[in-house]
Structure 1
Amino acid sequence: MRLALWTALRGLRARAGVLAITVLAVALATATALTVPLVTRQIERGAQDAAQVFDLLIAAPGSATQALTSSLFYLDTPTGNISEKLYEELRDSPGTRRAVPIGLGDNHLGFPIVGTNAAFFDQRLRPKDPPYFRLAQGQIFSGEHQIVAGARAARESNLKLGSTFKGAHGLEERETEEERGSAQHNEAYTVVGILAPTGGPVDRALLTPIETIWEVHGQDTPATRQVTAVLYAADQLAGVYVTAQRVNAGREAMAVFPGQVFAGARDVLAQGQAAYAGLSLLVLGIAALTVWLGVHSATVERQKTVALLRALGAGRSTVFGLVLGETLITVTLGVGLGLALAVLLSGVGGTLLGDRLGFTLAPPQLTWTLAVRALALIPLGLLAALPPAIGAVRVSPLRHL
């Protein structure tokens, strides 16, 4: 066995070019099979973490997914507005722990200006936990046109305590100076606080009292005031379902359970992942074929070496082990490199997607389920090496001496 291993290592060293190509092919196949599932799981975890601080989202009727992506992640156009009266009814209902208004419609350099109230900063993952949002500098707003900036919005907009700026109408930054000037509001905002990073979408937000949004958009009377959505939490779980039923029984608004939206999105992703898994198997099969071609060409090249080993007394098992040993080393190197490459690519991809989506994605987690998918290439490669190994055993040493 030692002789076979020693010979296999010497043979691989002599064919370093072929070895590198085969290892690279196996590594790329492994990374292809794992990168998308790893990134998908990062997105799922990041999205769920961002929605943990409230139980229910109340928004105008329409797409539940659109309501969530607009009012929670600030990535889409809202489904509409609901009246201040409905918000106050939710706030004052028995069993309500917290009802937080959200008002959208303006931006600064592409960062959303979000109207809300002081209850926003009292949101908690669990009732006994400390507030989810913490100030890194300054204080919570206490008057109109004051801003508490999210960590990323402050950093990328170069906002500091005392900084002033004018908001622009719309949810996206205008492309030209003329467009920005025509969309800009007259009233200036002043930064009074900066939040500590959370890794969530609020890092991109510029938070101001909801009264500011009403004033800027001319909603001067209670009858005209509107909010984009309400983040709702109840004292008891039963209260959440009662409120959802009451809201959905009317026509003005809809109640959205974030968990249900994520579950639906997960089902869609699962269907896509099933198709991707089939493609991954095809890619792994191509990698196995590459291994077979490498082993076959190496077998042809090593015929004189095999004949010499047999003439020196090496048994058929040694020759058989030589071929399988080279294959095992090659595929193991490729799979190991592929696993590292998959984690690296998914980490980079997660960072880029997180910047695009507006929340930080957790580092990729390589689970055993995914690892086994890649490790399965090792026995698959050995299976591909069986025909050349059997052929090497059957060849008479006298033909090549």
Structure 2
Amino acid sequence: MNTSLWIAVRALRARRGALLLTVLAVALATATALTVPLVSRQVERGAQDAAQVFDLLVAAPGSPTQALTSSLFYLDAPNGNLPASVYEDLRTSPGTRRAVPIGLGDNHLGFPIVGTSTAFFDQRIKPKDPPYFRVAQGRIFGTEHEVVAGARAAQEAGLRLGSTFKGSHGLEEAEHPEDEATHEGTYRVVGILQPTGGPVDRALLTPIETIWEAHGQVAPASRQVTAVLYTSEQLAGIYTTVQRINAGGKAMAVLPGQVFAQARDVLAQGQAAYAGLSLLVLGIAALTVWLGVHAATLERQRTVALLRALGAGRPTVFGLVLTETLLTVTVGVLLGLGLALLVSGTGGQILGSRLGFILPAPQLTWPLALRAMALIPLGLLAALPPAIGAARLSPLRYL
């Protein structure tokens, strides 16, 4: 360890209180600049992972984002319903690999009861991959009112194989039990899915015929579905289906990738404003560094004068002040990086539990890291005036 670094470390140890405050200010500024972008990226990646098992969502005309959040994430009310004939046409169309009906409208203890078909359990990320949704206990439903419960729904609702319950009308649990409008039929759990980390972990899956019966849609002409998850044999077939569906006017074809891209653009605008705020916070942290260095310079004027008297040149004193600042800011930035990862990881878990799907661990990219590390040259820049003042200090003034 060279002399300047040794003296700088000893000087910082002598000013532990002021050092702690400066490091804390730098760490908080760094964490503030990084936390929101990290969490935003977690949400984006988690949502894309949850939508990767199908190519196209067909829903009632309206908001594409609402169609996706309702029929895929079970977080919103659907745009409306489609005639079941739309599902049948998609299922029997040439080039269709898989068409999966989705029927919503009921819940149990706040967990959505999702009407679908056995084709739901054959969804795969790639054609040769194993099924994405696999049964951990029991079996797939076979008849009406049988239920395959998602892992989280089974755990939190206390459902086991053979458990029975009644469905309640609506997408959310009523605030007061006396207001709950239940259906006549009784559901029985015959299977529990393996955890996937996606929204299906919260779902209670049952044959679509159960939903039709519960809502009095006995006649084929009266039957409706909320949406259809569609996968084509060929990539070109997806775009052909999009054009055909949207041209008909009865339904709306939604490409999840396009919805996520639009959401990313909106997030990018918000993050641009947040980046400006982050620069302001980093500037305030740099000002804090300047105040700390300036106060320390005033405190150690006698020490600096003694160093000058012992033969230390102005460059040595100048370098000493900058070295102290470099150590202080670097420790603060590293602590802030760790704090940002900790906060975004914890916040991601809390947010994921509310959204209904697991968010991946935060990833610190180089652009974000460089944004935080910009505080190091800012801190050194803020330390220049005190460093110059210390270097110009006459040793005769305090000796």
Fold agreement, TM-score > 0.5: yes
Question: SS of 1:165's equivalent?
Answer: strand
- 2:196 maps to what in 1? 198
Deviations 1:237-284 (A, max 9, x none): 111111111110112101000000000000000000000000000000
Tell me which of 222, 225, 241 is aligned to 1:224.
Answer: 222
Distance 2:184 2:325 in 1: 71
CA distance in 1, matches of 2:265, 2:292: 40
Aligned-partner residue type, residue 66 of structure 2: Q
Distance in 2 separating the partners of 1:63 and 1:242: 21
SS at 2:220's partner residue? coil
Alignment check: 8 A CA contact 1:27 1:337 kept: yes
Cα deviation, residue 315, structure 1: 1.5
RMSD between superposed Cα atoms in Å: 0.7
Letter in 2 for 1:82: L
Q: Which residue of 1 aligns with 2:69?
A: 69
Q: 2:334 corresponds to which residue?
A: 336
**CA apart distance, 1:2:** 2.2
Task: Return the match for 1:310 from 308, 320, 333.
Answer: 308
Separation of aligned partners in 2, 1:339 and 1:89: 53
Q: Distance in 2 between matches of 1:84 and 1:376?
A: 57
Unmatched tracts of structure 2, length 5 or more: none
Q: 1:276-304 CA deviation, whole Å, 9 max, x = no partner?
A: 00000000000000000000000000100
Report runs of 4+ in structure 1 exceeding 4 Å deviation. none
- 2 CA distance for matches of 1:66 and 1:255? 13
Correspondences of 1:1-400 after superposition (within 5 Å):
2-180=2-180, 183-400=181-398
TM-score, reference length from structure 2 = 0.99
Q: Is the 8 A contact 1:3 1:318 kept in 2?
A: no
Residues 334-354 of structure 1: per-residue CA shift (max 9 Å, x gap): 001100000000001100110
User: Would you say the 8 A contact 1:150–1:202 is kept in 2?
Assistant: yes
> What are the ranges of 5 or more consecutive residues in structure 1 without an aligned counterpart?
none
Q: Secondary structure of 2:106's match?
A: strand
In 2, Cα distance between the equivalents of 1:3 and 1:205? 65
SS in 1 for 2:286: helix
Give the superposition deviation at 1:3: 2.2
The CA deviation at 1:14 is: 1.2
The SS at the match of 1:325 is helix
Query: What are the superposed Cα offsets for residues 155-182 of structure 1, whole Å, 9 maximum, x if unpaired?
Result: 11011111111110000001112112xx
Residue deviations 1:303-328 (CA, integer Å, cap 9, x gap): 00001111111111211111011101
SS in 2 for 1:223: helix
Residues of 1 paired with 2:150 and 2:177: CA distance? 25
The one-letter code matched in structure 2 to 1:324 is: L
Whole-angstrom CA distance in 1 between matches of 2:4 and 2:55: 64
Q: Is 1:233–1:240's contact at 8 Å kept on the other side of the alignment?
A: yes
SS at match of 1:12: helix
Amino acid at match of 1:140: I
SS of corresponding position for 1:360? coil
TM-score (norm 1): 0.99
Q: Which amino acid aligns with 2:183?
A: H
Q: How much identity, in percent, do the aligned residues show?
A: 78
Counterpart-to-counterpart distance in 2, 1:52 and 1:2: 56
| SS at 1:136 equivalent | strand
Task: State the shift of 1:92 in Å.
Answer: 0.1
What is the CA–CA distance in structure 2 between the aligned matches of 1:5 and 1:94, rounded to whole Å? Answer: 75
CA distance in 1, matches of 2:58, 2:143: 25
